[in-house]
């Protein structure tokens, strides 16, 4: 079974601080990492490959440096790495990203299943997976917490919901997005690390994958950012003093007077 | 191709743009700014420059769509077990404001089986129309059939704004539909407004785990689609005297589905749905021992609250992952959030910082949770929790 795992490079931290005087963002320079949710997607892909024979290909869209991160995934069992990199892809929203990835998937060719992390930690949109499935004209299931069964033709998986889960069956090829409950990613092996060093990441530009540049990047993005700002957390916090008992009594009194605690 | 360039003659190397860039994509060398490859063309730098030295050339997207054809505000009437989800009334509350600003009707799309009984409530909550699609095959949410029907309705009736709950279903349906319609979708909006001149929907949402807010528009495409997290918008007080129309549009019901929902399982461990809870009591590593987690559950029981947890205690197996609050767990926005023995790592704050009132109980006064706490108690959580439970019991019974 051939699996494609879509991954995204994200900043290693989400810490953003505001310089109050100049009203600008102070961003701790942080190293880039693979989106943590994508690690579960990679692990699940590798497990499927190990159980069924086949290959795992990681696919990403990003700046040329992302190739180094993709190479690292070889060390945990990925076979091939493909990076879509082109100035034409810059400024893509989730729709334009899904379009470019769909063209990348078509370039890779043979696949049975596409796995994505449930969302990326920088944008948190969770939109690219379902949007990609639509662009490829194949079904999808989000928030997958377990694959119950996978055969050549179909997959049966559990989707996490607010109050439990659903069991869903789909024909393959299909897209799933996974939550962290699905597995525990392995650590890279020494052998894998050596292999990673030698592995060439395939880098394609928009022309290589036959992408229409009108549908890529900022130009292909219906949504536009018009303003960014750091939220003010204006909390006049009150510290409640006293013995444990007094603290509890004071707090309960305060909350009761705010009339939030009337329901049982 | 779209690009951002520095106008070298105007740049004085002041580094304001470096600070404004959320992506570390600007560097100043020899007193001139330089845009690096990491640039995502977000444009945050442009307004930061006091010297007009940043040029942002945007390729306009082809405005082939006649925007004026699209009118009206829609809300997706998500339902489960024939019960409309709570987030729908919140969306109607917000949708009402948007529809009034645009002087257009507000409508709900209600898909299900024998679900007509819910329509009156939706009208009472602010809707002018209910587009009702009923078929026995539509009883439960199904990505394939719901997306198919939703797209048919959008193509026929052409709404300009569509709001969906940022729930499991909403966050699956919305991107599928937006992708098929090739229109814009903004996830997890926390505030919405209308630009009266352009009729554009101003969609503000958190990014980078809530550390940065971005306002997003979809100027050349319709409909403009947004998902909104539960508990963010305020519902109207239901008015049973409100009048509205129930419309049964003639749609093709897809019957040969490739996606099949085989089973729906409600796990019993959760009495109260975390994402819809008014009160949440969450426990963290400060409880010291898994057996102390019961103190959290006891307080929650007295308050009729949902039980949450921080990532470390879930990872250590004290409680199930379904209770995890934070970036890798659930995003919650209750009226009251008790953080018991939780230090408040940024990933945890990302999942709960929109709570109205935060109560932090922690022995470490420098714990970051106190920075966002409405009330802080510095002390031993194991002693304080039973006192709180006792005190609430006395007051609430």
Rounded to 5 degrees, φ, ψ at B75 are -125, 135
- Span A2-215: which CATH code? 3.40.50.620
Phi-psi region of B344 (alpha: psi -120 to 50; beta: other; left: phi over 0): left
Tell me the mean pLDDT in the region B274-287: 92
* Interface with chain A: mutation pick from B62, B171, B325, highest number of A CBs within 10 Å: B171
Residue A18 binned pLDDT confidence (cut-offs 50, 70, 90): low
Tell me the mean pLDDT in the region B15-42: 84
CA B325, CA B310: separation in Å to the nearest integer?
6
Task: Give the burial class of A257: count Cβ atoms within 10 A of its Cβ; 0-12 exposed, 13-18 middle, 19 or more buried.
Answer: exposed
pTM recorded for the entire structure: 0.83
Q: Please give the pLDDT value at position B23.
A: 76
Q: Please give the pLDDT value at position A263.
A: 44
Give the SS3 label for residue A73.
helix
Lowest mean pLDDT of A36-40, A172-176, A257-261, B314-318, name the range.
A257-261
Flag if A261 and B221 touch (Cβ within 8 Å): no
Residue A235 binned pLDDT confidence (cut-offs 50, 70, 90): low
Cβ neighbours around B390 below 10 Å, total = 17
Rounded to 5 degrees, φ, ψ at B33 are -75, 150
**Number of residues assigned to chain B:** 397
Q: What is the pLDDT of residues B198-211, one digit of tens each?
A: 999 999 998 776 77
Q: What is the pLDDT of residues A164-198, one digit of tens each?
A: 899 999 999 999 999 999 999 999 999 999 999 99
Residue B21 binned pLDDT confidence (cut-offs 50, 70, 90): confident
ipTM, two decimals, is 0.88
Tell me the mean pLDDT in the region A75-85: 97
Residue B64 binned pLDDT confidence (cut-offs 50, 70, 90): low
List the Cα angle B230/B236/B239 in 5-degree steps.
135
Residue A34 pLDDT exceeds 70? yes
Shortest CA gap B395–chain A (Å) = 8
CA A82, CA A208: separation in Å to the nearest integer?
12
Q: What is the pLDDT of residues B338-388, one digit of tens each?
A: 999 999 988 898 889 888 899 999 999 888 899 889 999 999 999 999 999
Shortest CA gap B124–chain A (Å) = 24
Flag if B179 and A95 touch (Cβ within 8 Å): yes
Flag if B175 and A131 touch (Cβ within 8 Å): yes
CB pairs under 8 A between A and B: 313
Domains of chain B plus CATH, in order, are 3-57 (3.30.70.20), 67-247 (3.40.50.620), 274-396 (3.40.50.1220)
Nearest by CB to residue B259, choosing from A91, A123, A170, is A170
CA A225, CA B239: separation in Å to the nearest integer?
37
Q: Please give the pLDDT value at position B222.
A: 95
Q: What is the pLDDT of residues B91-135, one digit of tens each?
A: 999 999 999 999 999 999 999 999 999 999 999 999 999 999 999
Q: Give the Å distances, CA to CA, from B250 to A136, B134, B141, B173, B229.
A: 28, 11, 20, 21, 31
Residue A236 binned pLDDT confidence (cut-offs 50, 70, 90): low
CA B129, CA B132: separation in Å to the nearest integer?
9
Residue A16 pLDDT exceeds 90? no
Domain boundaries, chain A: 2-215
């Amino acid at each position: 079974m051939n699996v494609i795992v879509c991954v995204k490079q994200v900043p290693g931290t989400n810490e953003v601080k505001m310089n109050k005087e100049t009203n600008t963002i102070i961003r701790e320079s942080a190293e880039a990492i693979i989106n943590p949710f994508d690690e579960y997607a990679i692990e699940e892909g590798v497990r499927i490959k190990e159980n069924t024979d086949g290959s795992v290909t990681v696919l990403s869209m990003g700046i040329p440096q992302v190739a180094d991160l993709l190479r690292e995934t070889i060390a945990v069992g990925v076979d091939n790495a493909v990076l879509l990199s082109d100035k034409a892809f810059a400024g893509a929203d989730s729709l334009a990203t899904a379009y470019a990835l769909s063209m990348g998937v078509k370039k890779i060719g043979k696949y049975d299943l596409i796995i994505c992390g449930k969302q990326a930690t920088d944008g948190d949109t969770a939109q690219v997976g379902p949007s990609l499935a639509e662009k490829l004209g194949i079904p999808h299931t989000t928030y997958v917490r377990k694959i119950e069964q996978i055969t050549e033709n179909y997959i049966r998986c559990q989707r996490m919901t607010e109050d439990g889960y659903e069991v869903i069956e789909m024909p393959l090829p299909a897209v799933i997005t996974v939550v962290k409950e699905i597995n525990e990613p392995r650590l890279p092996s020494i052998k894998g690390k050596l292999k990673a060093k030698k592995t060439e990441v395939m880098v394609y530009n928009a022309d290589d994958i036959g992408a229409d540049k009108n549908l890529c990047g900022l130009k292909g993005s219906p949504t536009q950012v018009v303003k960014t700002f750091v939220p003010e957390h204006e909390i006049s916090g009150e510290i409640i003093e006293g013995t444990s008992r007094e603290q509890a009594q004071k707090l309960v009194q305060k909350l009761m007077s705010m009339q939030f605690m009337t329901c049982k | 191709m779209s690009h951002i360039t520095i106008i070298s003659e105007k740049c004085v190397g002041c580094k304001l743009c470096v600070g404004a860039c959320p992506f570390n994509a600007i560097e100043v060398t020899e007193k001139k700014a330089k845009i690096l490859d990491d640039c995502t063309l977000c444009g945050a730098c442009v307004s930061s420059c006091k010297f007009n030295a940043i040029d942002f050339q945007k390729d306009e997207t082809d405005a082939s769509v006649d925007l004026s054809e699209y009118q009206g505000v829609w809300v997706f009437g998500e339902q489960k077990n024939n019960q409309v989800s709570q987030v729908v009334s919140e969306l109607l509350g917000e949708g009402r404001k948007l529809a009034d600003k645009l002087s257009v009707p507000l409508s709900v799309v209600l898909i299900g089986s024998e679900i007509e009984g819910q329509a009156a409530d939706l009208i009472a909550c602010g809707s002018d129309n209910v587009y009702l699609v009923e078929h026995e095959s539509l009883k439960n949410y199904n990505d394939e059939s719901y997306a198919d029907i939703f797209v048919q309705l959008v193509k026929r009736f052409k709404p300009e704004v569509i709001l969906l709950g940022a729930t499991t279903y909403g966050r699956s349906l919305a991107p599928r539909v937006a992708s098929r319609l090739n229109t814009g979708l903004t996830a997890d909006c926390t505030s919405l407004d209308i630009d009266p001149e352009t009729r554009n929907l101003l969609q503000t949402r958190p990014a980078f785990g809530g550390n940065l807010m971005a306002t997003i528009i979809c100027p050349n495409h319709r409909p403009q689609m947004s998902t909104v997290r539960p508990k963010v918008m305020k519902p109207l007080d239901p008015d049973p005297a409100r009048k509205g129309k129930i419309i049964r549009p003639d749609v093709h019901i897809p019957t040969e589905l490739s996606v099949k929902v085989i089973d729906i399982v409600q796990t019993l461990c959760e009495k109260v749905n975390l994402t819809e809870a008014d009160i949440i009591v969450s426990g963290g590593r400060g409880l010291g021992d898994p057996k102390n987690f019961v103190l959290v559950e006891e307080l929650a029981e007295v308050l009729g609250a949902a039980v949450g947890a921080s990532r470390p205690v879930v990872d250590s197996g004290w409680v199930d992952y379904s209770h995890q609050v934070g970036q890798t767990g659930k995003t919650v926005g209750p009226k009251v959030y008790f953080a018991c023995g939780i230090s408040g790592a940024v990933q945890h704050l990302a999942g709960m910082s929109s709570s109205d009132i935060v109560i932090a109980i922690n022995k470490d006064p420098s714990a970051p949770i106190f920075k966002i706490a409405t009330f802080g108690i510095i002390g031993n959580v194991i002693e304080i929790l039973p006192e709180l439970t006792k005190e609430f019991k006395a007051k609430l019974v």
